[in-house]
Chains A and B, each alone.
Chain A
Amino acid sequence: MTEIIENVQHTWHVPYHWSFGEMTTKFFEYMKNEKTIYGAKCTACGKVIVPPGGCAICMAPVEKELIPVKDEGILDSVTIVNLPYPGQPATPPYAYGYIILDGSNTFFMHMVGGVEHEKIKVGMRVKAVWNEERSGDFYDIKYFQPVE
C-alpha cells in the first residue's frame, strides 16, 4: 500500500542588503549612545516626524537638522498578540502599539510591557525602558511601560 505523504515543509530565504541612509544611521546611533529618540521637521507642514525620514502626509522631505523628542508619550492604539507565528519579536502573549511621543506628531510603533495586559488602556502615558546593552536598533528599547 502506497504511503500518503501528508505535507511538504520548506523555508524561503529572502536575503536583503539595506543602506540606512545618513539620517536613519544617525537616528540609531543616538538611540545607542544617548538613549534618545530623534525626529525631524517636515519641510512642508512643520510636523515632527519620528523616525526621521519623510512626511507620509505631505510626501515632502524632512529638514536636515534632527530634533530630540521625549522617550515618553501617549499610547494611541494597542494590539495584544496571543498567537505564535514565525519571526515574532517576542513570545506571545505580548502587546505592541502606536505611541505619540511628546514633541512629535507621528506614531512610533513599539512593544508595550512591564504591565498586566488587562491594565493597558488607549490614551495612557507610556515611557521607554531602555536596554543596558544597545546595538543601535529598535530593540535598544525593551518596551514602553505605563507611567503614573
Chain B
Amino acid sequence: MSRILDWDITVPYKWTTGSVIGKFLGGLKEHNILGAKCPACKKVFVPPQDLCPDCYVDLGEDDFVDVKNEGKVISFTKVEQDFFGKKPSEEYLNSRISPASVDEHPLLWPPEVPYAIVMVQLTGADTAMVHLVKGKDMDKLAVGGQVKAVFKDETIGHIMDIECFEVIS
C-alpha cells in the first residue's frame, strides 16, 4: 500500500519593475499604451525598454511616446487544453506551511480555455507585445488581422488592466 501526497509548491514573488516598465504600467492605468522611441534609430519599442538593443542608446523619460490601442496580429497560439497550477488548493492554503505572504492576484491567472496568446504590433510601434484574445473573437483571429485593446473599467497599473484584445477586422 502506498500513501499519496497531493500538495502545492508555492513561490510568491515581487518583481521590481524599474522606471521604464513602471511608467508603462502607470500608462495602462490611464488606458494609455506607452512605447519608448530610440532617438538614434527612431524605432519604437512596446513595451518600452530602457536601452535600445540595436544602438545601445539609453532610453528614458524624454523618449516615451503614445502608441495606438490597436494594431495587427503578428502571430498567435490557441490554447484549448486546460492545465493545472492556476490556483492553490484550499487544503494547501489552510495548511500549517502555507506562507503568510501568499498574495492572491487572480487577474494574472490564465482565463478559461479556449483563449489565444497573441503577439500584437500596435500602430506606431516597431515591436510586438504579448496579450490575449478570447471568447467569440477566437474564430476571427488571423495573422495580419486588426485587433484593439479592451481596457477594464477599474485599473491598478498591471498588464491585465487590458482585459484582452478584440478582433476588429
CB distance from B79 to the nearest CB of A (A): 18
* A17 with B17: CB separation less than 8 A: no
* B12 with A11: CB separation less than 8 A: yes
State which residues 79-136 of B face A: CB under 8 Å. 84-89, 96-97, 99, 101-105, 108
Residue B29 is within 8 A (CB to CB) of chain A in the complex: yes
A contact residues around B84 at 8 Å (CB):
15
Residue A5 is within 8 A (CB to CB) of chain B in the complex: yes
* B4 with A18: CB separation less than 8 A: yes
Residue B15 is within 8 A (CB to CB) of chain A in the complex: yes
CB distance from B132 to the nearest CB of A (A): 16
State which residues 1-47 of A face B: CB under 8 Å. 2-22, 24-25, 28
Q: Which of B20-28, B69-77, B143-151 contacts A (4 or more CB under 8 A)?
A: B20-28
Residue A87 is within 8 A (CB to CB) of chain B in the complex: yes
CB distance from A80 to the nearest CB of B (A): 20
Q: Which of A3, A14, A15, A89 has the most CB of B within 10 A?
A: A15
Q: Which of A3, A4, A88 has the most CB of B within 10 A?
A: A4
* B99 with A87: CB separation less than 8 A: yes
0/1 per residue, B1-16, Cβ < 8 Å to A? 1111111111111111
Question: B4 — nearest CB in chain A belongs to which residue?
Answer: A19
B contact residues around A20 at 8 Å (CB):
2-5
Q: Dominant SS at the A interface? A: mixed
Interface residues on B, range: 35 or more
* B1 with A6: CB separation less than 8 A: no
* B12 with A9: CB separation less than 8 A: yes
CA distance A28 to B4 in the complex (A): 12
Knowing A4-B19, A8-B158, A10-B108, the reply to whether A28 touches B3 (Cβ < 8 A) is yes
Question: A21 — nearest CB in chain B belongs to which residue?
Answer: B2
CA distance A89 to B95 in the complex (A): 12
State which of A5, A13, A25, A28 has its C-beta within 8 Å of the C-beta of B86.
Answer: A13
* A15 with B158: CB separation less than 8 A: no
* A13 with B88: CB separation less than 8 A: yes
State which of B13, B16, B25, B96 has its C-beta within 8 Å of the C-beta of A11.
Answer: B13
CB distance from A62 to the nearest CB of B (A): 16
State which of B11, B17, B27 has its C-beta within 8 Å of the C-beta of A6.
Answer: B17
Residue A93 is within 8 A (CB to CB) of chain B in the complex: no
State which of B3, B17, B105 has its C-beta within 8 Å of the C-beta of A5.
Answer: B17
B contact residues around A14 at 8 Å (CB):
8-11, 85
Q: Which residues of B come within 8 Å of A, CB atoms?
A: 1-17, 19, 21-23, 25-27, 29-30, 32, 34, 84-89, 96-97, 99, 101-105, 108, 157-158
6 nearest A-B pairs in the assembled complex, by CB-CB distance = A5-B25, A5-B157, A86-B99, A3-B26, A4-B22, A14-B9
Instruction: Give 14 pairs: A residue, B residue, CB < 8 Å, sorted on A.
Output: A4-B22, A4-B26, A7-B15, A8-B25, A9-B15, A11-B103, A12-B9, A12-B11, A12-B12, A14-B11, A18-B4, A18-B5, A86-B11, A87-B99
